Amino acid sequence: MRLLIMGPPGAGKGTQAVSLAERVGGAHISTGDIFRANVQQQTELGREAQRYMDAGEYVPDEITNAMVRDRLGHDDARESFILDGYPRTLDQVATLDGILDELGSGLDGVVELVVDPEELIQRLLKRAETSGRADDTEAVIRHRQQVYTDETAPLIDVYSQRGLLMQIDGVGDVAEVSARIDDALPA
Ligand code: ADP
């Protein structure tokens, strides 16, 4: 199964993506995780990405697109993957369409986790106390929500028009939300 998981920062995307990938037996591909690993290892990619991430900005599409193209070409992503945090811009949607075309595959569905924005800010501020992530300060958190609204929310309409969208209530404990996703997945 080839799925995207989308939702604003703090919606629990990462947590759900990891367990969903296990349940469907696919690769979990998180652009945020790949960027953070590169920052930690101080690679060239990490050095380029870090200043955007720390400011709560999106990394430029050309960098992100090249990274995803490479990752989706790996064997473990051939049959089944959960793409977490990508695409985030309309340009990335077009690139992903092209990559999947070249690979002769396509998406089976798009999971959107829906959570009220103020609830999200409160969750992220709580996470900030323990995460140590440089992008977990209140100003940056608010900025990331705004960037999501401006740049990524329009993608929901695109996938809805394609008949791929599954809107899932993201409020509740992890198991509850997982069960809602499983109920909505295509057979
Ligand atoms: P979030 O906590 O917002 O879900 P992620 O862990 O997915 O964040 O990503 C952290 C940061 O990595 C983003 O704020 C952004 O700077 C960068 N990033 C991740 N995915 C993308 C993407 N598809 N396009 C551009 N930048 C990205």
Q: Ligand 1: distance of its center to the CA of 47 in Å?
A: 15
Annotated catalytic, 144?
A: yes
List residues bridging with 82 in a β-sheet. 3, 28
Question: In ligand 1, which atom is closest to the CA atom of 88?
Answer: 23
Query: Which pLDDT value is given to residue 135?
Result: 79
Ligand 1: residues with CB < 6 A are 9, 13, 31-32, 35, 52-53, 56-59, 64, 85-86, 88, 92, 135, 144
Query: Which pLDDT value is given to residue 185?
Result: 96
Q: Per the residue annotation, which of 2, 71, 144, 180 is the catalytic one?
A: 144
- Residue to substitute in 47, 61, 88, 111 for testing ligand 1 pocket (most ligand atoms within 8 angstroms of CB): 88
Query: Which pLDDT value is given to residue 134?
Result: 76
Question: In ligand 1, which atom is closest to the CA atom of 147?
Answer: 14
Q: Which of 184, 187, 178 is nearest to 17 (CA)?
A: 178
Question: In ligand 1, which atom is closest to the CA atom of 53?
Answer: 16
Q: Are 80 and 88 in contact (CB under 8 A)?
A: no
Q: Which of 145, 185, 141 is nearest to 4 (CA)?
A: 185
- List domains and CATH numbers for the chain: 2-179 (3.40.50.300)
- Residue to substitute in 31, 82, 147 for testing ligand 1 pocket (most ligand atoms within 8 angstroms of CB): 31
Query: Which pLDDT value is given to residue 132?
Result: 77
Output the pTM of the full model: 0.90
What are the contacts of 75-79 at 24+ separation with CB within 8 A? 76/27, 77/26, 77/27, 77/29, 78/103, 78/105, 79/26
pLDDT in tens, the chain (187 residues): 999 999 998 899 999 999 999 999 999 999 999 999 999 999 999 999 999 999 999 999 999 999 999 999 999 999 999 999 999 999 999 999 999 999 999 999 999 999 988 888 888 888 888 887 777 888 998 999 999 999 999 999 999 999 999 999 999 999 999 999 999 998 8
Query: Which pLDDT value is given to residue 117?
Result: 84
Query: Which pLDDT value is given to residue 156?
Result: 96
Question: In ligand 1, which atom is closest to the CA atom of 9?
Answer: 3
Query: Which pLDDT value is given to residue 183?
Result: 97
Annotated catalytic, 127?
A: yes
